[in-house]
Amino acid sequence: MLTILPLFLNKIGVTEILILILLVVIFFGGKKIPELMRGMGRGVKEFKDAVSKDYTEENKTDESSDTKSDAGKDEKTGK
């Protein structure tokens, strides 16, 4: 039985990248491509900002819970 494998099943090579670029130019035209790339860049930046914001908030809550648990301890005994 003959099976046809898709182009992208293995590693993406030069041929596949050229096909993708050609399809993008055909569908969107040369004038829209900079706008699309700008929008993608903004999206990636917003995603990175959101991830780092969540990470810093998580660290702040961990640190505040550590200080709260330390606040109830007696300074001489450490308990």
Give 42's pLDDT tier (boundaries 50, 70, 90). very high
Alpha-carbon distances of 13 from 22, 27, 56, rounded to whole Å:
14, 21, 38
Q: Read off the pLDDT of residues 11-38 as tens digits, 9 standing for 90 and up.
A: 778 888 899 889 888 888 888 888 888 9
> What is the rounded CA–CA span in Å between residue 68 and residue 57?
16
Q: Does the pLDDT value for residue 39 go beyond 70?
A: yes
Q: Read off the pLDDT of residues 47-61 as tens digits, 9 standing for 90 and up.
A: 999 888 877 777 776
